[in-house]
Structure 1
Amino acid sequence: MAENEKSRRDFIFVATGAVIAGGAAVAARPLIHQMSPAADNLGVIGLDVDLSKLEEGQQLTVTFLGRPVAIRYRTALEIATALSDDQVALRHKETDLSRLRPKPDGTIDPRFLVFTPICTHFGCVVVGEAGDFDGWYCPCHGAHFDTSGRVRKGPAPINMEIPNYRWISETAINLR
């Protein structure tokens, strides 16, 4: 057999093998993908978040259903400021306590604020511990939010969203 025919045959074998391997990968992808939970079930299952490692003044951001969710362990000053801001004229009236969820024993822990850190004006991600009210600030269009995530100044029409969550223990929440 001529050397030219041998190299041609080797090329055909390698090319055929590559096509078969590529076809197998393309065929296997949907089979593997169907084993992961459906997107509509993720909302039912939820996401458990352990807050025990979070220290005062820190903020943890997780992604749930494709959106960021922030959990802020507020300082005593931030809580006091948020409670005193209940009395000022707010564009979208909500008290600080109405933005919190009760624990399993029925008590409300004002230390943890769970919210979606997205400006309600055009959906920009906000910057924490910034702005005129020491809460959050949207650098895109200048919206200012207080330490409870309520809009205080700028073009944002409503407060930052509070996601659907519940306390499952003293130190853990479940986003749903």
Structure 2
Amino acid sequence: MVITATPPRRTDRRIVAVGSIMALWCVGFAVVNVWFEATGHFSDGKYADYAQGLLVMNVLVVVLKLLGAAVELLAVADRPRLIRPAWTSTLAFGAFAMLGVYAAAGVVEGTVLVVTGSDEVTAASVAYVLFFVLGATGFGLVAVSHWRRYRPGRAPVVVGAVGAPVMLVLILSAAPWVLGALGVMPSS
């Protein structure tokens, strides 16, 4: 007797729309980093000594943002061709967790500033945090939808949700140190 798995149901059109918007959201943020470099945003002023290191960090960030866009598109695809659904779930939950941690940190920081009566809370800073809360929500909707369609088990959720933020913190913590050791940016 041959047991065949039931093929997953098609991706809901609303989730495809959310995933597509989130992919565009990532590309839009990548464009901001490209704009920083194209305009020489950091080449003079208080960050001039860090311009070379910020170029390297901007390239790293652009790559991460474009990977986020690719993950969203992979997660809403009906027929996975490039990587296994379990890996896509891992990546989708990793991206969701990274954005969720960043958004939650912004909410906590903003709340502390409001409670302490700081005048640093502006409409722009509130909009920035809300923009990331909405982004994290979109990534979360896509991640959960993908997981429900393919049911790869709990391991991809745990590995992605825990591993990706830890890896990002390690990369972003180590990169300035490495760039300082290489003399690309001041080590102070």
TM-score, with length taken from structure 1: 0.26
Higher relative CO (Cα under 8 Å, sequence separation at least 6) belongs to 2
**Would you tell me which structure has more strand in proportion to its own residues?**
1
**Would you tell me which structure has more helix in proportion to its own residues?**
2
TM-score, with length taken from structure 2: 0.25
Work out which of the two has the higher radius of gyration on C-alpha atoms and give 1 or 2.
1
